[in-house]
Amino acid sequence: MVEKMISEEPVRIDGDFEFEGTRYPILRSQPILPLVSWNVSPHDAEIMVTVFLSDLGSALWANQPNPPNDMGAFALRAPENIIRAECGKEIDIWAVGCMTYELLAGEILFRPQPIAGLTPDESLLLLRYALTGETLDKTLVQQSRVKDQYFDREGNFVKAKANPYPHQTIQQRLANRSDLSAKQIEKAAAFIQSCLRLNPADRLNNSGGAYLHDWIDDAFMVCADPNNYPGPDHTHTH
């Protein structure tokens, strides 16, 4: 489906620009499904299109070895950032998972509550444990610059022994908050869960894994009639 739309409306380039010695194309804005023109009147646009915005919060160069302790918006921070371990591009994959849920459900995925005896970071980490049902890998724990604050000698998160947050899956959360169909929820939840793995090495990889996920192929058509826009199983030829 994506390939068909691109072939019918090929990308139009309006010049280029230079950034740090490399030139990049400037792409012209073009209609989007269901063929809503970019210069439509504000009144018609309000009727036909609903836009949701989500903010990543901040960014830094990928070759910066250790991001600051508070890198990114609080609710989007990856577990390795919370425990001050080594961070890489995988923190972006985590943030994508959080933001995808937020755009679909209209609520922040991780919103810790004030709980006596827990710091905000501890509460945030407990929410991640409750949602994923996973534990942090011991090698990641050893990288933590504050491991004595969070973990016992065996590398177990001490406060997780009495986690006040109940376990609830992404699919359950979306079903409670979203008007998507059951099939759309299942595929979206699978994508989000693939992004939100506690251990960075288990997340969708940085070599195209996120773009190759089944849900991404037609995620932009969530408002369209699924009978008119079948999923990737019916549109791809290999």
Burial class (CB in 10 A: 0-12, 13-18, 19+), 23: exposed
What local confidence, expressed as pLDDT, does residue 13 receive? 84
> 144: which 2 tokens?
């933590």
What pLDDT is recorded for position 95? Answer: 92
Q: What is the predicted pLDDT for the residue at 40?
A: 67
The contacts of residue 3 (CB under 8 Å, 6+ apart) are none
- pLDDT in the model for residue 106: 85
Task: Please tell me whether the overall predicted TM-score, pTM, comes out greater than 0.75 for this model.
Answer: no
Peptide bond into 112 cis (omega under 30): no
Ordered by where they begin, the domains of the chain are 1-50 (no CATH), 52-235 (1.10.510.10)
Kindly report the backbone phi and psi dihedral angles of residue 22, in degrees, each rounded to the nearest multiple of 5, phi listed first: -115, 140
Encode the chain (238 residues) as per-residue pLDDT tens digits. 556 666 777 778 888 888 888 888 887 766 555 555 666 676 776 666 666 777 777 766 766 655 555 667 888 999 999 999 888 888 889 999 999 999 888 888 998 888 888 999 999 999 999 999 999 999 999 999 989 999 999 999 999 888 999 998 999 999 887 678 888 899 999 999 999 999 999 998 754 555 667 788 777 654 444 443 334 333 332 2
Q: Which H or E run contains 4?
A: helix 2-8
